[in-house]
Each structure stands twice: as C-alpha cells, then as structure tokens.
Structure 1
Amino acid sequence: MDLHLSNSDYSQSGLSHKEESLVPSSVFREYDIRGLANSEITNEFALSLGVALGELALSQDHQMFFVGRDARLSSPSLTVALCSGLKAAGCHVINLGEVTTPIVNFAIEHDPICKSGVMVTASHNPATYNGFKIIFDGKVISGQQLQQLESALRSNNFSPEASAPQITKGFISQYCQHIVSNSSIDRSFKIVIDAGNSVAGPIAVDLFKRLGCAVVPLYCDIDGSFPNHEPNPSVEKNLQDLIAKVASTGSDLGFAYDGDGDRLVVISGNGTIIWPDKLIMIFARDLLAKTPGGDIVFDIKSSMRLKELVIECGGLPTVCKTGHSHIRKAVRDQNALLGGEFSGHIFFNDRWGGFDDGLYAGMRLLEILCQQHNGRIKTLDEIVCEFKTSSYSPEILIPIPDEKKFLLMDSLQTNCVFVGGKIIRLDGMRVEYAGGWGLIRASNTTPNLTLRFEADDDIQLAAIKTRFRRELNPFIDQLEDYI
C-alpha cells in the first residue's frame, strides 16, 4: 500500500492558520525532508510532522512506526517531538534509539507487524542540518508524496487524540548477528573504519569485529558536531585521513561511512579511492556470474564502464535519476539483483532486503575478496585493475542557493545545445559524446549544482570540459574556478 494523500482532503486553505516559518517549503526535498536545525527543522515542526504522519497512517490502517535517530546534536529533541506527535495522533511508537538508517529498514523488514518508520537524520550534510527519512509500508516517501505531505502538514486539520504507547527496542545486536550468520568470510582482514564521528562508527566496529576483522577505528566515537570532517565520503578531502591511516597501519582496506550509515566509499590497500560506481562493477560482475541475465540499476552519475560491464556479463543495465529513493524503487519494481549510485548508496536484493546499507556492502566486498582464483586470492587493487580504465573527474560542486538552482537548471535546459553531443535529460543534462560524457544537474540534498565528467583518455576529458565551459559560461559566474 502506498501513502495516498488527497489534495482535496488536505488543501492549502490552512496556510492562513499556520505560518510559513513553521513549514518552510525549502525543507521538502526530492526524497526526504532536510534543512537547517533549530531554524527550519524545529521541534515544533517535528511535532506537527508526527501528528500529520500519524493521522494519515491511521486513515490507512497503519498504527505503528519505528523511529530511529542519528548522532547529530539536534536529533534527540527532534525525536522526542516527532514521537510525541505520532503518539498524539494515536500511533504506537517503537523507539530504536541511536541507530543507522539501514537498521530502521532492517527492523521494518523483520518485524511481522510494523512496516513503517522514520529516521531523524540529515545523512551526509553538515552538523547544522537535520531532517527526516520516511518509510511507509516498506516504501520510501519521496517526490510528489512528500509534496502532498507538505500540503497535509499546512492544512491544520488534525485533531490529536490521547497519547498512544511508546516502547524502546534494540535492534543493533540482532542486525549484526543476522549479517554475520549469513556471511561467508573465511579469512581475517585488517580494516580502518572512518565514520566521521557519526552513528555508524560503533556499530561498524562491532560488526566487523564479529566478522573476524582486525579493526582500526578512526573517528568512530560519536560526536554530533562532527569535529574532524563532515561524514560525507563522496568528498575527496574527507578521505585523506583514512588514506593516511590505511598506509600507516598497513591495513588491507579502509571503509568510509556517512552520517547515517547507508553509504560506503572504500580505500584499497595501496591508498586508492575506489569510488562507488567501481564497487558496483565488482558486485555486479560477481552477482551476474551466479545469476546471468539479472537486472542491475545505477544512477545517471555512474561511469560508462559500469553499463559496458553489465552488458558484457550478460546483465540488463537500467539507468535511473540520482537519489536513493529512485534507485530503491527501480530495484524493487524490476526485482533487480543490485542497485547503486555514485554517492555510495548500494542496494543488494539477492540475500538482502533491497535497501541501501553501507555496512552490509562492506561485508559483501570482504566475501568477494575471500574468493580464490586459480588457487590464489586477489587483492582489491588487482580486481580493480581488471576493469577497463577511463579518465574521470570527481563530483564537482558549484554553490547555488536552493531557491535558485532549479531555475538555473531550467535556463540551462532551454539555452544550452551542446552541438555534437547526445543530451539525456533524465536528471539534469548528461551529454554523451563518442569518447565520453559530461553531466550537470541540481543537487536534491545540498545548495549546489553538481557536475561530473568521464572520457576514454585525458585528452578527450579535457575536450568535453572545454565544451561544457563554452556552453555554461554565460550562465554561471567564475565557472573557471570549478572546471
């Protein structure tokens, strides 16, 4: 069952009764609710959200929610307010405490009754942000459903009842034990874990020790101010301490996690960053060897080499809009073996529940690294060297205010022609040439435009960047500072 919201039932007529400052439109993103804590995401907002969600759930015979939170300093009070709203609406609340988003998904998957949940988190955003990821009947609420929820929140038509019960339940040990009991790792690895002081740290250390690894913790103590670096592993500067620690400790691998544990970036033994689209190639090849003809889903930012590899391995590639909710829905709709995106969300749907989980993805990588090839075990660096190379850029971020970025993208869509290229408008503009591609799109989680480039070699990469500079220069100031 989907969350069905009717604009006739929850109209905008309540705007005069509820100030815009309580329900700022800017916090309703493409696939979650996210904004500045204490100014946009307030305890009053969380309370109202809880009431709105609770009453809408009860109208469809859903009476129970799991609620988890990340380690941000604002998360405890927001969680209390959210739970109060849910209970006031008449819903039962199971408080999971400080957990990762995958543990909320795991709880929903394994509980026989409760199939909805809310995670209080702003994922990889800075410590000053917070937000809510909402799962209803096992599906992520996103896009139009979030916009309709905004209308419902503004309507002020809710009539809370007496408070319903709340219980506290721990799922961390059950989650770790389930992964361990369903794994096949027959050698010990020395791994460095960098969680950026996020909630993922202690859970990841516990899990990989249970898997027999020698764990070197790096920023795994919880500190919601994120004093060492933001928990965003897709930004290269945030990986430098991890790269150095892998080298200084002689470790086999480094695992970098985000603020709520659903993303993973890996550092190889020789200090190379293994970006997630390369990880997806490793996982796809392994899965397709066992299940030929399977579907593999990935986002518009991913390498052209990924699509080539899936086809070579007999799989069916599907390209999606960027965003964990889009990938998750496509994996579910197509019953795909695997989904993933360049930011590090990886969705296993063979032995796992089809939701993104950075810790579980780390375990699956270790399983592959245990496999023997002609009597010997390959390192991660050796496996990566088997793939066809390309020249590529990291993800490039150009700061643009949230209220302007989509308008700017509309202007680019209208005015840029990219002569000689094939423009794919699935999500922004991905322009494909004979020897590579470039992408520009609006981020749905941060006030940025994002760009990425890839080509067969450095010469073609530089040529594609030049074409983009020529097209974008009239619209973006100081573009030369970025590409």
Structure 2
Amino acid sequence: MSESLIVSASGIRGIVGRGLTPDIAARYGAAFASHVAATDPDSGVVLLGRDSRVSGPALLDAVASGVRAVGLDVCDLGIVATPTGLMAVGDDEDAVGGLLVTASHNPAEWNGLKLVSREGRFVTPAAGRDIQRRFEEGVEYAGPWDIGARTSREGANRAHLSRILELPIVDRGRIRARGFHVALDCVRGAGGLILPELLQRLGCRVSGLDLEPDGRFPRPPEPLPANLGRLSELVVATGADVGFAADPDVDRLALVDETGRPVGEDWTLALAVELVASREPGPVVTNLSASRSIQDAAERVGAPLYRTPVAEANVVARMLESGATIGGEGNGGVIYPGLHMTRDASLAAALILQFLTESGCTLGQIVDERASYRIVKRTVPREGLGIEETIAAIAAAAPRGTERDVQDGIRLDWPDGSWIHARPSGTEPIFRIMAEARGDELAHRRADWVDGLVRGAG
C-alpha cells in the first residue's frame, strides 16, 4: 500500500498517472480474468462499467485489454452506477463476473477497480486475495487465436430503474400523490443517468444540481455535511421538501431536510431500517462504524441488530448468514435483499420517499423526534503506525465498564451509549477514528482521547 496506489482484496484504488496507470489496470484486469478462468468452469463474458470520471474511458480500455489478453470476452455497459453494474452481472446468465472502474467517493484525481462475482456481489475476501496474488506474481496470457472479443450494450440503467419501481415496498401511487419536490445533487457522477428519471417517475418535481455525468466534480465528492452547502442553499431557495446527494458511483445517499440542514448519512439507513424491518421482520446488519441511530431504529421495530467489520462484503456475508431483511453501512449505503445485495443510493431514495409518504411528516420533524447523536471523525496518517501495537495501546487504556469489539480495529462502547471505533482504512493510507455521543462535547472528548493514543503509538 502506498500513497498513490492501494492494492487490497477488494480491488485497487490510486491516483491516476502516478500509482494507477493503464498498464497497472491492464495487469489487474488480467489477474481478475485469470482467477475467473481458474475457478469457474463455465466460459462466459466479463461485464465492464465505469463511473463518470474523466480518466474512466482510458482505464476501462486498459482493463478490457487485460481481460481479453487472458482469453475472456468483455461487454462494456458504459457509465453505470456501481449497484447498476452489480445487478447487470447478477442478471446475466452468460456473465462470469464484472469489473467496475470507479474510485467511489475519492477525489477526481483518483480511480480504481471494484471486483464483482458472477452472483452480482463483490468478490469474497478469499477471491480478492487470489486476484491480488495473481496481480503481483503475473499470469499466463492467451495465444494469438484465443484473444477474447469485445462488445458493448445499453440498457443497464433502465433495467435497474424498472426493478426499483416494481418493488412491493415502494408504493408508486402514494408517493406520486404526495407530489414531492426534491433537490438533487449528483456531483456530476453516474447518478445523473438514473436518479432524475427515478424521481420523476415517482411524481417528484426535481431541482437539479450538477446532474451532468462528466466527472468534473465541483466539490469534494463524498456526500458529507461539510460538502453539501450548495445543495442546502438549493433546498431553501426552491422550497424543496427534501435534498438528496449521491456520491459519484451512486451507492451512497445523504439527506438534507426541508430547512436546508444536512442531517448526516446515518439517517439514510436508519429510516430505511425502520421502514423495512417494520414490514419484513428479521435481523438488521450494519458495520462497527455505523451510528447508534441505526441501532435505535432496529430497537424501535423490535429487530435484532448485528455488527460486522467495515466493508460492504462483510455486511453482505452476515446478512446472508442471518437472513437479514435490511442492512447497510452508516455512510448512506442501504442494502435491501428484496432488490439485490449491494448498497444502492437509488433504492435508498425510493425508500426515503416511501417513509416520508407514510409518516406524513417532514424529514426535519422525523429526525427531531428521534434521539440525535454527534459523530466526530478523525484521520491519522498511517505511515509509521504499527497497527497491532496501536490497537493494543487503545485496548490497554480502555476504562472499566466499556464493551470491547476487535473484529475490525477496536470499538469501545461506554455505558452512557457513547462509543469510539479506531481502525486502519482499507481504501486510503490512513488510520480512521470515529466517536459518537449524545452531546458534541462528549463526542469530541472521546475522539481526542483515542486520537492521542493512536498518535502516541506511532
């Protein structure tokens, strides 16, 4: 792992032209194809897609060349949301996997590859490690007569949209009758190709911001409250009922209430949990960094909650194991098995509108009626940190009475409901620190405490 290229079991991500170059992308595409050819006895096609980043076309061409050089065919879906790409793979009987060119919420100079299994889910950690090994050690390429073919097709976005609108839990008639006015910020990502049409077909009037999918992000693309100032202004200026912000590959949705207040990404999953689990009894699954508000939502409808290490693949694995009816991550990523097993911002938008329809309240009223928490996030450069030593130092300093979870870094829970989670990032060369409490002062105090321990261990 370096500052400009991160290679892990979940794919690669790097700064284009420095760590991530076309030859790196081609080698990784070849490693993925080699893994598929060795583990899947059926021949088939690898589906490719990308978000809107300017570097996307060149890197997708390189990935396609790597896959074809091993002897597998590829089919280019064009610009698609990450959940759209996963759905396309899972629905295609001829697909043996997929590769998505995206760096999710990272800045515009970054790009990467996400790895999709033939089931339409991200590959397992074991499969990812095998692909990483093949990337590092090299693969065997096909002869001149066995090079794979390349085709393309359209329609993946329309198919995804139709599937959402057909869900029984989404009452199109009732939502349309509400006549919502939605302010929408797609940050010039792939969401511009699916979210406006979804909202319009749900009877919403849309005031759009940066809907053009050209990859020229006008702000930091992660939909954090600090980055949603223009959306907040748009909500107020247009009198919108709610504001939606998606990240560039459309697997995360953040909310802004009718007053222009960004309410935080965790409320997306919390409200989806309350809606779905009240109708479809079963477990709820989220990760160790997700807000207490999600646990509150599960408790409100009597659903058990299970926590996993951070990363969608971990959440999905536990959802499958437990038979969960809803799950996701506290970054605005909602996973609903009734549609597919991946985070999906378009799905989340439909579920939030359904929740607002049934409640008859505004988003601000709903949030204010429920317990609120203050989350503080910090990062520490990973260089020079001994991960095991850092986690051990935090564990040794843990006060009496705290509950400890070491599935992923370390999480400590205090009896007053506050908690901290400290872990090495899997997508950036940093150590992440999160703290949450009912009040701002306590949340910062918890964060300061663990921040000092992490820096002291460096």
CA deviations 1:73-117 (Å, max 9, x no partner) are: 211011111112222222121210111111111212322332521
Instruction: Flag the 1:152–1:461 CA change in 2: closer, same or farther, 3 A.
Output: closer
Q: C-alpha distance in 1, partners of 2:153/2:132?
A: 30
What is the DSSP-based 3-state SS (H/G/I as helix, E as strand, rest coil) of the residue aligned with 1:262?
coil
Instruction: Flag the 1:387–1:38 CA change in 2: closer, same or farther, 3 A.
Output: same
2:46/2:97 contact within 8 Å kept: yes
Identify the residue that residue 52 of structure 1 maps to in structure 2.
31
2:287/2:309 contact within 8 Å kept: yes
Give runs of aligned pairs for residues 252-291 of structure 1, distance below 5 A.
Answer: 252-291=241-280
Give runs of aligned pairs for residues 298-309 of structure 1, distance below 5 A.
Answer: 298-309=286-297
2:201 counterpart letter in structure 1: R
Identify the residue that residue 169 of structure 1 maps to in structure 2.
153
Give runs of aligned pairs for residues 72-471 of structure 1, distance below 5 A.
Answer: 72-138=53-119, 139-161=121-143, 162-170=146-154, 171-182=156-167, 183-184=170-171, 185-186=175-176, 187-226=178-217, 228-233=218-223, 235-292=224-281, 294-349=282-337, 351-371=338-358, 377-390=360-373, 392-398=374-380, 400-401=381-382, 403-404=383-384, 407-416=385-394, 417-420=397-400, 421-435=402-416, 436-458=418-440, 460-461=442-443, 463-465=445-447, 467-468=449-450, 471=453
What is the DSSP-based 3-state SS (H/G/I as helix, E as strand, rest coil) of the residue aligned with 1:397?
strand
Q: What is the Cα deviation at residue 439 of structure 1? A: 2.1
2:186/2:247 contact within 8 Å kept: yes
Q: C-alpha distance in 2, partners of 1:43/1:471?
A: 40
1:239 counterpart letter in structure 2: L
Instruction: Flag the 1:386–1:273 CA change in 2: closer, same or farther, 3 A.
Output: same
Q: Structure 1 unaligned runs (5+)?
A: 1-19, 477-483
What is the DSSP-based 3-state SS (H/G/I as helix, E as strand, rest coil) of the residue aligned with 1:333?
helix
Instruction: Flag the 1:247–1:30 CA change in 2: closer, same or farther, 3 A.
Output: farther
Q: C-alpha distance in 2, partners of 1:446/1:203?
A: 28
Identify the residue that residue 14 of structure 1 maps to in structure 2.
none
CA deviations 1:174-196 (Å, max 9, x no partner) are: 22233234342232211111111
Identify the residue that residue 481 of structure 1 maps to in structure 2.
none
What is the DSSP-based 3-state SS (H/G/I as helix, E as strand, rest coil) of the residue aligned with 2:95?
coil
2:31/2:132 contact within 8 Å kept: no
2:82 counterpart letter in structure 1: T
Q: What is the Cα deviation at residue 144 of structure 1? A: 4.1
CA deviations 1:273-323 (Å, max 9, x no partner) are: 23232222212222222123x010111111224224323422111001111
Q: TM-score, normalised by structure 1?
A: 0.85
CA deviations 1:336-368 (Å, max 9, x no partner) are: 11111122221011x211211111110111112
- Is 1:61 aligned to 2:62, yes or no? no
CA deviations 1:135-154 (Å, max 9, x no partner) are: 11223125343232122123
Q: C-alpha distance in 1, partners of 2:203/2:444?
A: 45
What is the DSSP-based 3-state SS (H/G/I as helix, E as strand, rest coil) of the residue aligned with 1:224?
coil
2:111 counterpart letter in structure 1: N
1:255/1:267 contact within 8 Å kept: yes
Instruction: Flag the 1:150–1:466 CA change in 2: closer, same or farther, 3 A.
Output: closer
CA deviations 1:115-165 (Å, max 9, x no partner) are: 521100111111111110011122312534323212212333413233222
Q: What is the Cα deviation at residue 210 of structure 1? A: 2.2
1:75/1:130 contact within 8 Å kept: yes
- Answer with 151-160 or 460-469: which moved more: 460-469
Instruction: Flag the 1:115–1:207 CA change in 2: closer, same or farther, 3 A.
Output: farther
2:389 counterpart letter in structure 1: S
Q: Structure 2 unaligned runs (5+)?
A: none
Q: C-alpha distance in 2, partners of 1:463/1:88?
A: 54
What is the DSSP-based 3-state SS (H/G/I as helix, E as strand, rest coil) of the residue aligned with 1:71?
coil
Point out 4+ residue stretches in structure 1 off by more than 6 angstroms. none
Q: What is the Cα deviation at residue 445 of structure 1? A: 1.4
CA deviations 1:397-456 (Å, max 9, x no partner) are: 33x14x54xx44322212232223333222222221121112222222123222222223
Q: C-alpha distance in 2, partners of 1:341/1:450?
A: 15
What is the DSSP-based 3-state SS (H/G/I as helix, E as strand, rest coil) of the residue aligned with 1:434?
coil
Q: What is the Cα deviation at residue 469 of structure 1? A: 5.3
Q: C-alpha distance in 1, partners of 2:108/2:296?
A: 39
What is the DSSP-based 3-state SS (H/G/I as helix, E as strand, rest coil) of the residue aligned with 2:456?
coil
2:366 counterpart letter in structure 1: I
1:438/1:454 contact within 8 Å kept: yes
Q: What is the Cα deviation at residue 36 of structure 1? A: 1.5
Q: C-alpha distance in 2, partners of 1:258/1:460?
A: 30
1:276/1:341 contact within 8 Å kept: no
2:285/2:306 contact within 8 Å kept: yes
- CA root-mean-square deviation: 2.4
